[in-house]
Structure 1
């Protein structure tokens, strides 16, 4: 049930066709399209492009790293990694509309030789054990009910010494979350757990945590700054995630911010290594 609900939440009719029209309307219909220009649209997580840059810097990526982006969405983080570091990146996502759009945007940014997207379930990824040097996830785990199976699959896919990078929302109090939020319109399709439970599950799966930081305040500052930028940049408004997620998306974001401010939720960034 949860997979069907999640897929429905992230399904957008004729997304690729609408993206073509949108890029033409905002004057971005010439190739190659700079990766940074798409950030308001394809960096689908708190902190946007700045959070992606920070996590990538923490990983110290090199061109030889093979990266798997789980829950790749429209592909913003994976295209940033490929363009900046020269890595080969595979992206998987449940949503066929997101996968099609991500591949289209990779063609438009001249990155289709380095980045590829396919439909797949994060609990059953169609790659051999030890296929990747890095597994990357940003705001993905909250949609996954069986977190233990998710971390076990990530462990299987990594080579020895490989790293699992995460940037996720966690529960931080006994008070329930307010809904809707960007990843779920109701609680039955939302599965955040506490930071403590996350660390325990990663350890139980065999991971060794090498870095861990709370990014809640930084994310709140980013949300505030983003609201200011929307007031004067028409392209930011046009390219925003409301275009993908629907007219109620700004309300979802405000609800997430409310949860963060009230201490019901927090945002953590972490890297865990496979021995």
Structure 2
């Protein structure tokens, strides 16, 4: 099982890869992006997923949003700038938190956007602190997804909404296919992906209702393909780097392979990308 320190190390080590492949300086986002008729470029898709999720959750400038697994603050900063709501972002990575707070100052939204180093399954926030809990491609890292859902329920005000976008493996995979998914997951410091069906049932068990589920697999596929094509020059560069840097971390070695694994497993229909929105009773 990956520890919080492992996950923190993964993101700190892979920051170089994100900067090179994911246009991190412009998008400030580590997620896949949402492609539809309104998007023409990669950056458009990265911003578009913020629009899609904020609309689904009906976020307004009166809300306080918790961005659970905020990365370097891309979505939180977008929400603060474009909607004007108060946002608190949390990450396991101290480096990400420091960068996000610097970006909030740069964007002059530090009065409504703040970032802290916390575990989203066990935060220090009081009960009913937030109107919205937002998570893009971060819940997959929770060893026990139910622990995240329980904490989200505790933190939400009555009538508050949980909005997430994430990867979900297909149910009842063959051993060979399950091993392929496992290799991808471990390269990203993920113990395992949940299934859509199990996640939906856990939301109900923990008290969420009016649960809307939207399949966005087709919408994120161009991003998955972009990552796949980055694999080929990356694997050569990674090989050369390992020769000259003997102390390269395990995550540094495996992260390049995940670019190949995530797309080949997608092509085999072994996983889907789902957007969940549920309301606290």
TM-score over 0.5 (shorter chain): yes
- CA distance in 1: counterparts of 2:67 and 2:140, whole angstroms: 16
Is this contact kept in 2: 1:179–1:252, CA < 8 A? no
How far is 1:64 from its partner?
0.4
TM-score by length of 2: 0.76
SS at match of 2:152: helix
Structure 2 unmatched ranges of 5 or more: 34-45, 230-250
The Cα offsets for residues 117-168 of structure 1, whole Å up to 9 and x where unpaired, read as: 0000111111110010000000011111111111000000000000000101
Pick from 51, 54, 63 the counterpart of residue 53 of structure 1: 51
How far is 1:12 from its partner?
4.5
When residues 114 and 253 of structure 1 are mapped into structure 2, their CA distance, relative to the original with a 3 A threshold, is farther
Residue 267 in structure 1 maps to residue 273 in structure 2: yes
Is this contact kept in 1: 2:169–2:194, CA < 8 A? yes
SS at match of 1:73: coil
1:193 matched residue in structure 2 = 194
When residues 219 and 191 of structure 1 are mapped into structure 2, their CA distance, relative to the original with a 3 A threshold, is same
- CA distance in 1: counterparts of 2:101 and 2:183, whole angstroms: 29
- CA distance in 2: counterparts of 1:115 and 1:247, whole angstroms: 34
1:202 matched residue in structure 2 = 203
Residue 147 in structure 1 maps to residue 135 in structure 2: no
- CA distance in 1: counterparts of 2:51 and 2:160, whole angstroms: 19
CA-atom RMSD, angstroms?
2.7
How far is 1:69 from its partner?
0.4
Is this contact kept in 2: 1:66–1:88, CA < 8 A? yes
Structure (1 or 2) with the greater helix fraction: 2
1:211 matched residue in structure 2 = 212
1:2 matched residue in structure 2 = 2
- CA distance in 1: counterparts of 2:254 and 2:146, whole angstroms: 32
1:165 matched residue in structure 2 = 163
2:69 matched residue in structure 1 = 71
How far is 1:251 from its partner?
4.3
Alignment of 1:64-143 (within 5 A): 64-143=62-141
When residues 134 and 264 of structure 1 are mapped into structure 2, their CA distance, relative to the original with a 3 A threshold, is same
1:255 matched residue in structure 2 = 261
The Cα offsets for residues 17-73 of structure 1, whole Å up to 9 and x where unpaired, read as: x9xxx9xxxxxxxxxxxxx9721xx22112132222211121221100000000011
How far is 1:107 from its partner?
1.4
